Amino acid sequence: MIIHVVRPGDSIFLIARQYGVSPQSIIADNELTQPDRLVVGQTIIVKEGAVRHTVLPGQSLFIIAGIYGVTVNAIVNANPEITDPALIFPGQILIIPDVIGRLGTIEVNGYAFTNIDRNVLNKTLPHLTYLSIFSHEVTAEGTLRDINDRPLILEAYRAGVAPLMVVTNLLPGAGFSSDLARAVLTNPVIRNRLIENIAIKLNERNYYGLDIDFEYVYPEDREAYNTFLRLVVERLRPIGYQITTALAPKISADQPGLLYEAHDYPVHGRLTDHVILMTYEWGYTFGPPLPVAPINQVRRVLDYAVTAIPRDKILMGIPNYGYDWTLPYVPGTAARSLSNVAAVQQAIEVQTAIQYDMTAQSPFYNYYDVQGRQHIVWFEDARSIQAKLLTVNQYGLAGVSYWTIMRYFPQNWLVLESLYNVYKVFS
């Protein structure tokens, strides 16, 4: 697999000729709806093909190897006509090998709401290990609000994907509630009733496991949350259910803040089968313009996480969206969420080049709207996804979790499948 970054003058025809593939294959693999319209900085994946480098005056194999991040021996092995590595000449065309290859097998989780487009769901399921169906909201009485999850559960099993029931402390039509979490975590009667209702629902709907996503729990309820988790595990694991929890992206055990303090990494790591680290939302709806999941910040979270949680239990969160902020940023104003595909389409429409932040490993661009207001857009592309997926291997993690799979991003799955085999619970 090759990630080609569009340059001035590029076309799909020229890119295809460069890598020795058909234009139709590039269009189909990237699901390009307007293949005749590209923008500088856009990523195009060439699924099958090879990089062909034309030797320039003064270039040696050592210099060329450094350009592509490969070894001299790898280039020599890919070009058997080279009999003496010191003898190459300007104009000579060399094949540059893809040296990353598949790195092993990982687990992949994807969150979906019940109203997901069925075509998007069916295209995504082959790439998943787990489908986390969002969400059964708990009530202050220890019951669960019902959702229309049966169709997704059936589709998951048909595709060999394990469905997980997600329970949350969300209020209907609102956000996560600290008070609701306190009501169900600190009252033993309500807590036990909730656990029994969870067990009933898991059995009734034929779920494979449970994903607990309790957020903004009061810091003083940390031990109550730990107790709840221990009781859930004691109740559900003996009858065959897997337990997963979603955790805020902490960089230290004592990180302050309502989002972080009640999430006890060592306890969750010890009790659960998996933890999902929500390593995204540095750039968020009501916050200042920032990359959504800058790799340097993600790695800070992982640096702490692997000291507190077994690596083979960690699923690293990956966002499947971007944000468009109006500038200058005014605190309290909302950014507009958009898909990664829509972000590129917008760049094409406004005719602005996509740039790439090497520290954050994230693409972005600026533009002016019809009212003359400046905007900045941060999103994900093939390069940023590859950087995140390589990080999984570097840290020896179990895999990744996508928030969410509601909008199909073909380049993500092309990159993932080029790097890893996806573990399937049901073969």
Task: Return the domain boundaries, the chain.
Answer: 2-96, 105-315+381-422
The pTM for the full model equals: 0.91
Note the pLDDT of residue 99. 64
User: CA nearest 40: which of 370, 386, 414, 350?
Assistant: 350
Note the pLDDT of residue 98. 73
- Which residue has 């009999």 as its token pair? 83
Note the pLDDT of residue 427. 72
Confidence of residue 252 (pLDDT cuts 50, 70, 90): very high
**Whether residue 215 lies in the annotated active site:** yes
Residues forming beta bridges with residue 366, ordered by sequence position = 376
CB neighbours of 97 closer than 8 A, spacing ≥ 6?
Answer: 50, 70, 74, 75, 77, 78
For range 359-383, the mean pLDDT: 97
In the predicted structure, residue 378 carries a pLDDT above the cut 80:
yes
For range 385-392, the mean pLDDT: 94
The percent of residues in the chain predicted with pLDDT above 90, rounded, is 90
What residue ranges in 199-313 does DSSP mark as E strands?
209-213, 242-247, 274-277
Confidence of residue 102 (pLDDT cuts 50, 70, 90): confident
Find out whether the peptide bond into 97 is cis, omega within 30 degrees of 0. no
Note the pLDDT of residue 224. 98
For range 120-146, the mean pLDDT: 98
Look at phi and psi of residue 191 and say left if phi exceeds 0, alpha if psi is from -120 to 50, else beta: alpha
Note the pLDDT of residue 207. 98
Mean pLDDT of the chain: 96
List 137, 155, 215, 380, catalytic entry: 215
Note the pLDDT of residue 1. 87
In the predicted structure, residue 54 carries a pLDDT above the cut 90:
no
Note the pLDDT of residue 379. 98
User: CA nearest 390: which of 25, 101, 28?
Assistant: 101
Task: Assign domain 105-315+381-422 to its CATH architecture.
Answer: Alpha-Beta Barrel (3.20)
Burial class (CB in 10 A: 0-12, 13-18, 19+), 243: buried
In the predicted structure, residue 19 carries a pLDDT above the cut 90:
no
pLDDT tens readout for residues 225-245:
999 999 999 999 999 999 999
| Least confident piece of the model among 37-41, 48-52, 157-161, 216-220 | 48-52
d(CA 390, CA 397) in angstroms, rounded, equals: 10
Note the pLDDT of residue 50. 73
Task: Assign domain 2-96 to its CATH architecture.
Answer: Roll (3.10)
Residues forming beta bridges with residue 105, ordered by sequence position = 421
Confidence of residue 52 (pLDDT cuts 50, 70, 90): confident
Confidence of residue 48 (pLDDT cuts 50, 70, 90): confident
For range 23-47, the mean pLDDT: 96
Angle at 130 between CA 394 and CA 194, to 5 degrees: 115
For range 413-417, the mean pLDDT: 96
- Would 2-96 and 105-315+381-422 be classified into the same CATH topology? no
